[in-house]
Amino acid sequence: MSYNGIGLTTVRGTATSGHVQYNAGHVRNSSRRHRTHKNANDGRGGWSSFGRGGGNNNVNESDSKLLTAQALKEGASSLALHEKKRQLEVRLFELRDRLEDRGGMKEEDIDREVDLQRKRTVEGWEEEERIGKERELFLQRQQHGLG
């Protein structure tokens, strides 16, 4: 009594009927793809652009793309920014730990020093971003002969 090589060759001595059931925990790819698409489009179906028909036919072609280049860029930059902030907080925690171990400073002085270091770092990031945007704009003008 086997089904596609699954199950017993004989049910003798097993005290079972030998009935083979399907795997209810298996998720088919089409179902996973559908959920991923729906999540990426904020719950809108919009399968019409994928050749499936039906669904919400007034969805733009650009809206129905799962991952556009801009979405990937924004996602990557937000992840990079999050990692950058996380690393900053780790460094600030280490600074706080060193200041506390050194002793001789009040808790409010330590807080002030950590906040000052955080503010300096974030201002440095903002300055780097501003300079980067200015440089990008300058290079665009140079390329197009406007500058």
The single residue listed with the structure tokens 């399968």 is: 47
Total-model pTM? 0.48
Q: How confident is the model at residue 64 (pLDDT cuts 50, 70, 90)?
A: very low
Q: Give the residue with greater pLDDT, 79 vs 43.
A: 79
19-31 confidence digits (pLDDT tens) = 767 777 776 676 6
Three-state DSSP at 115 gives helix
pLDDT of residue 49: 47
Q: How confident is the model at residue 13 (pLDDT cuts 50, 70, 90)?
A: confident
Residues 6+ apart with CB under 8 A from 29: none
Comparing C-alpha atoms, which of 38, 78, 44, 72 is closest to residue 58?
A: 44
- The pair of three-digit structure tokens given for residue 5, joined into one six-digit string: 């090589």
Q: Which amino acid is at 77?
A: S
